[in-house]
Amino acid sequence: MFQSFEVSARPEQGPPRLKALRTEMAGEGLDGFLVPRADAHQGEYVAPHDERLAWLTGFTGSAGFCAALRDVAGVFIDGRYRTQVKAQVASDFTPVPWPEVSLGQWLKEQLPEGGTVGFDPWLHVPGQIEELEKTLDGSGVSLRASDNLVDRIWADQPAPPRAPAKAHPIEFAGESHADKRARLGQALRDKGEVAAVITLPDSLCWLLNIRGSDIPRNPIAQGFAVLHGSAVVDLFMDPAKLEGLEEHLGDKVSIRPPDTLLAYLQAQPGPVRLEKSSVPVIVAEAVGDKVVWGDDPCALPKACKNAAEIEGAAQAHLRDGAAVVELLAWLDAQAPGTVTETQVVSRLEAQRRTDNALQDISFETIAGTGPNGAIMHYRVTENTDSVLESGHLIVIDSGGQYLDGTTDITRTVPIGPPPQEACEAFTRVLLGMIAMSRLRWPRGLAGRDIEAVGRLPLWLAGQDFDHGLGHGVGAYLSVHEGPQRLSKTSHVPFQPGMILSNEPGYYREGAFGIRLENLLVVQDAPDLPGGDHHRKMLDWRTLTFAPIDRRLVVVDMLDRPSRDWLNTYHGQVAEKIGPRLSPEAKTWLDAATAPI
């Protein structure tokens, strides 16, 4: 499915598709139309049916949007994709650095005489539209809700996903969905709210202990849910997806056709909680003046993993670490110039699939060597597949979806003797990773408060990277999960049980990329001997175990605590992963984890 879609999204097909879109715009009396990378559920990942941005422009990044006007079409991308977008879109599309350039300001500059810009109210959230209207106030540029004009011209658009859902076993979930519904329903009643609308599929899947396969690499089933204070749930999902789950869902979960959602909400009493950052505009309009804005009631409980979920993640990471080590051992035995990126991807995925608990990989494996490694979210294609040459680095970012947990790990490996400047940058990245791994911090702090710790070694050398230091990770759910993040924009305080990635990097366009990534879980920090303990502290438990390539480490740049951390970590890798390996990989691991 992915392969056939990729073929239909080549850059040269963008200009005629843009022309067809402009014809539809003219017919509707519109001067522009917004094409986000989004679906009605506002998750990060979308099904092929909803890949409108990639189909129109050729850009396949996980975030961005196009503002197609009559004479110009801007593709708005953040710092992660500024290299990638250049190679993927035709000259008819203009890359726009975002958020440095806001959509509202850009529209005012491009439409100085005013005009009407259309948008699909299923694909935008109220906060986006309100902010845009505020920026456009007094400019003469107005917004108008419309049906989706891209869908009109996309003749071979894939059908919406209808993959069957399945029950998630209680031994992995750690809590029944009846108990979850009761707990969250009580929280609604405590706030005087009648119900909450849940639009994010991973939230409703967590709530009801179900999993699906509507989105590639993400075990979710798409739908909407209304959670009532009484702990009853109305589930708006294609009934075909839920065949055989009647006993699991029980009589407190009612299945309703998705196309009845708006009428149902119009007839419901309030107050009804909606999350402004994830609910579609059209759903908010259906609820009307009964809206109470608040957080997705599932988001924080889902993020704070219970004991069963944490133990499952730990076990999944041990098996996953063994697969990664087998790959690294194999790769190290290959001569420079004899292996391609696609071979690395295929070998690693095959290694993971030897584990019967693996359901899928958790995202498209990134294996970028040389200049490709500087593309942060690079995905190898037939046209970009490169040979691993001596003197290059390769960034390998990958993960698995196991029944008991979701993994995400990145390692950077040298091919032949590495350049000194790459080793120095790698060591700074490693120092940042270690500093974050060793951190203790007071309860109440959020990602914005501590993220700089992982960047400081790079900053001291005038270097940085254009992605967050870390993201939340689900429990056999989405590999990117909120609301917590290690990011300067995250205000969500950390709580025990949250799983996050720790992934500093450095990217030199046209030369090389570097990234290291482990997953960590927040836990209560033990009291230190002799401390006054006047403030409760948190720290991390590391979940990921695989060696960090010592050939890229400039040992003299490591302070003693960092060197001790690395040696201790490598000792744990040898102890935990070694017994799970083939004899050849075990021999390789013993050498790779020797103390420095």
99-146 pLDDT tens trace: 899 999 999 999 999 999 999 999 999 999 999 999 999 999 999 999
Candidates 326, 222, 306, 330; CA nearest to 495 is 306
Which is more confident, 502 or 93?
A: 502
- What per-residue confidence (pLDDT) applies to 558? 98
Rounded CA separation 230/252 (Å): 9
Contact 401, 541 (CB under 8 A): no
- What per-residue confidence (pLDDT) applies to 568? 98
Rounded CA separation 421/425 (Å): 6
Look at 18-27, 69-78, 528-537 and tell me which has the smallest mean pLDDT: 528-537
pLDDT in tens, 361-397: 999 999 999 999 999 888 898 889 999 999 999 999 9
Rounded CA separation 478/359 (Å): 13
Q: Where are the domains of the chain?
A: 2-153, 166-302, 357-561
Contact 227, 182 (CB under 8 A): no
- What per-residue confidence (pLDDT) applies to 538? 98
Contact 216, 2 (CB under 8 A): yes
- What per-residue confidence (pLDDT) applies to 531? 64
Q: Region 315-327: what's the mean pLDDT?
A: 98
Give the contacts of 592 (CB within 8 A, at least 6 positions apart): 328, 547, 549, 550, 570
Joined together, the tokens standing for residue 149 give 């004009």
Residue 351 one-letter amino acid: Q
Contact 543, 448 (CB under 8 A): no
Measured from the Cβ of residue 416, the count of other Cβ atoms closer than 10 Å reads 13
Residue 28 one-letter amino acid: E
pLDDT confidence tier of residue 6, bands split at 50, 70 and 90:
very low
Strand 272-274: give its sheet, edge to edge. 253-256, 233-236, 224-228, 195-198, 272-274, 291-293
17, with CB counted inside 10 A (0-12, 13-18, 19+), is: buried
Identify how many contiguous H helices and E strands the chain contains and give both numbers.
Answer: 21, 28
Beta strand pairing call for 272-274 and 291-293: parallel
- What per-residue confidence (pLDDT) applies to 529? 80
pLDDT confidence tier of residue 83, bands split at 50, 70 and 90:
confident
Joined together, the tokens standing for residue 426 give 């790698």
Rounded CA separation 193/587 (Å): 60
Look at 58-67, 107-116, 162-171, 238-247 and tell me which has the smallest mean pLDDT: 58-67
- What per-residue confidence (pLDDT) applies to 329? 98
Instruction: Write the DSSP string, 78-118.
Output: -GGGTTHHHHHS-TTEEEEETTTS-HHHHHHHH-TT-EEEE
Rounded CA separation 559/335 (Å): 33
What class has domain 357-561?
A: alpha beta
Please tell me whether residue 156 adopts helix, strand or coil conformation: coil
Q: Is the pTM of this model over 0.95?
A: no
Gyration radius (Cα) of the chain, Å: 24
What class has domain 166-302?
A: alpha beta
- What per-residue confidence (pLDDT) applies to 554? 98
Of all residues in the chain, the percent with pLDDT exceeding 90 is 89
Does residue 4 register a pLDDT over 80?
no
- What per-residue confidence (pLDDT) applies to 80? 77
Measured from the Cβ of residue 482, the count of other Cβ atoms closer than 10 Å reads 22
Task: Please tell me the CATH code under which domain 2-153 is placed.
Answer: 3.40.350.10
Joined together, the tokens standing for residue 573 give 């890798």
Q: How many residues does the chain have?
A: 596
Does residue 562 register a pLDDT over 70?
yes
Place of tokens 């540029």: 141
Q: Region 512-517: what's the mean pLDDT?
A: 98
Domains 166-302 and 357-561 equal at CATH topology level? no
- What per-residue confidence (pLDDT) applies to 7? 37
Q: Mean pLDDT, the chain, as a whole number?
A: 94
Residue 408 one-letter amino acid: D
Cα–Cα distances in angstroms (integers) from residue 342 to residues 3, 124, 169, 329, 366, in the given order: 14, 36, 35, 17, 10
Q: Region 14-33: what's the mean pLDDT?
A: 96
- What per-residue confidence (pLDDT) applies to 1? 26
- What per-residue confidence (pLDDT) applies to 60? 85
Q: Region 177-195: what's the mean pLDDT?
A: 98
Joined together, the tokens standing for residue 68 give 């197609």
CB burial string 448-478: b at 16+ within 10 A, e below: ebbbebbbebbeeeebebebbbbbbbbbbbb
Measured from the Cβ of residue 170, the count of other Cβ atoms closer than 10 Å reads 12
